[in-house]
Amino acid sequence: MPHAVPSRRRAVAALLPLLLALPLAACSDDPEPGPTAAPTQGGTGPVLAEIAGGSALDIGFAVAPELLDEPEYREIVDTHASLVVAENVMKWETTERVQGQWDFAGADTLAQYAREHGKKLYGHTLVWHSQLPDWVAALDAPAMQAAMEEHIRTQVEHFKGQVFAWDVVNEAIDDDGTRRAGSPFQATLGDGYIEDAFRTAHEADPDAQLCYNDYDLEAIGPKSDAVYAMVSDLVARDVPIDCVGFQGHLTGGKLGDDLQENLQRFVDLGLTVRFTEVDVRIPTPPNDADLAQQAEDFGTVVSTCLAVEGCLGVTFWGVTDRYSWVPQWFPGYGAALLWDEDYATKPAFDAVVEAVGAGRPGRG
Ligand code: 9MR
């Protein structure tokens, strides 16, 4: 049976910014958050969205709308998510495969699901070099700028009042910290396309939070330094940017010890941060040691986010190992999510429950 979403969760979501400024005890009469105090799924286990609510931490899942018809998948999203994001159906190749012809069918299905189930809806993504139809790269500069602005305007206006935050620009920086030369937007429009994209999105929906989103930002190094420099410049010039998404596509056992410091420096710019696409790939078939390492890494991501006041959520890039993108892209690796291929919880799920249950340091 789908799990009804308590109205308290919706209220908590609406009050997120306020709640962050208050001590936990002041905003709830509920028992201490923690695995044992949480409502249960089918009477047997903790519910992530519930135990995260007291910490004003969004628990998100990337969702493929057609999989919501699969009962086990559906039950997990119904039960554990306070936020959903489209894994693919809001990308340019889906929504505007042919210039000026719009297809929001899949995205509208997800938006309706979010509305009817009291989940926040996160928008992914407006401007990205990948999953981009070929016609865009073929345009000259004035036509590409007009097409990009029109794409942003149409999509943001379509979901106005539903999508509370957008990944406006995705993966604009290469691994070495240079601008991604292989992006048609970079190649044809130059650096300025990024601020143009943010300004256009802001005009289309002044209430939406606007984020820059990228992978391999976890450690302080050439790539995260370049993103830090870029967003610092945007902030300094009053470009409407609100947040940075740390995708968090991790390999087990590789997290360094500077994650919190790194998140904090972005928050110190006046931005919020969140983990937007977390998975932890391990060799397949997984052994117990790798599963334990993976659990530790998931726990670290969640507890580090909770340790940073401006870190507002953790989104997992999928529900079950059955459908993860990882094995196709990293042969020999996979098993990267919280539920295995048969929808059994993994040690990583228990680690996330424990980290979420511990709450924000100093607020218990
Ligand atoms: O999970 C997505 C997968 O189904 C797609 O085939 C792939 C195509 O690039 O995109 C995956 O999601 C990506 C996300 O949109 C942006 N960050 C990296 C993600 C994993 O590739």
CA of 122 to the centre of ligand 1 (A): 15
CA of 227 to the centre of ligand 1 (A): 20
Q: Which residue's CA is minimally distant from atom 10 of ligand 1?
A: 88
What is the spatial distance between Cα 25 and Cα 110, in angstroms, rounded to a whole number? Answer: 34
Catalytically annotated residue among 50, 149, 195, 277: 277
- In the chain the first and final C-alpha atoms are separated, in Å, by 33
pLDDT per residue over 194-225, tens digit each? Answer: 999 999 999 999 999 999 999 999 999 999 99
10 pLDDT above the threshold of 60: no
Residues 118-124: what's their mean pLDDT? 98
**For a substitution probing ligand 1, which of 277, 321, 323, 326 has the most ligand atoms within 8 Å of its CB?**
277
CA of 74 to the centre of ligand 1 (A): 21
Q: Which helix (H) or strand (E) holds 108?
A: helix 105-117
In this structure, what is the dihedral angle of CA atoms 178, 182, 187, 193, given to the nearest 10 degrees? -70
- Atom index in ligand 1 nearest the CA of residue 247 equals 17
pLDDT per residue over 221-251, tens digit each? Answer: 999 999 999 999 999 999 999 999 999 999 9
CA of 242 to the centre of ligand 1 (A): 23
- Atom index in ligand 1 nearest the CA of residue 91 equals 15
pLDDT per residue over 133-176, tens digit each? Answer: 999 999 999 999 999 999 999 999 999 999 999 999 999 999 99
* pLDDT at residue 278, rounded to an integer: 99
pLDDT per residue over 255-301, tens digit each? Answer: 999 999 999 999 999 999 999 999 999 999 999 999 999 999 999 99
Query: Which residues have CB under 8 Å from 295's CB, separation 6+?
Result: 346, 347, 348, 350, 351
3 pLDDT above the threshold of 50: no
pLDDT per residue over 173-196, tens digit each? Answer: 999 999 999 999 999 999 999 999
Query: Which residues have CB under 8 Å from 133's CB, separation 6+?
Result: 92, 93, 96, 97, 98
Q: Which residue's CA is minimally distant from atom 4 of ligand 1?
A: 325
**For a substitution probing ligand 1, which of 67, 91, 126, 130 has the most ligand atoms within 8 Å of its CB?**
130
32 is catalytic: no
Domain architecture of the chain: domains with CATH: 7-358 (3.20.20.80)
Q: What is the DSSP string of 220-234?
A: SSHHHHHHHHHHHHH
Whole-prediction pTM: 0.89
What is the spatial distance between Cα 190 and Cα 183, in angstroms, rounded to a whole number? Answer: 10
Q: Which residue's CA is minimally distant from atom 19 of ligand 1?
A: 277
* pLDDT at residue 214, rounded to an integer: 98
What is the spatial distance between Cα 284 and Cα 1, in angstroms, rounded to a whole number? Answer: 32
CA of 151 to the centre of ligand 1 (A): 20
**For a substitution probing ligand 1, which of 89, 325, 328 has the most ligand atoms within 8 Å of its CB?**
325
Q: Which helix (H) or strand (E) holds 53?
A: helix 48-53
Catalytically annotated residue among 171, 195, 218, 354: 171
Mean pLDDT across the chain, nearest whole number?
90
Q: Which residue's CA is minimally distant from atom 13 of ligand 1?
A: 87
Confidence of residue 18 (pLDDT cuts 50, 70, 90): very low
Query: Which residues have CB under 8 Å from 81's CB, separation 6+?
Result: 48, 49, 59, 60, 61, 63, 119
171 is catalytic: yes
CA of 129 to the centre of ligand 1 (A): 12
Ligand 1 binding residues, C-beta < 6 A:
87-88, 130-131, 170, 215, 247, 277, 325
- Atom index in ligand 1 nearest the CA of residue 318 equals 1
Confidence of residue 362 (pLDDT cuts 50, 70, 90): confident
CA of 39 to the centre of ligand 1 (A): 33
Nearest 5°: the CA angle 335, 2, 339 is 10
Kindly give the residue spans of alpha helices, DSSP state H, lying in 205-324: 222-236, 259-267, 288-307
- Please say whether the beta carbons of 62 and 75 come within 8 A: no
Q: Which residue's CA is minimally distant from atom 14 of ligand 1?
A: 87
What is the spatial distance between Cα 9 and Cα 114, in angstroms, rounded to a whole number? Answer: 13
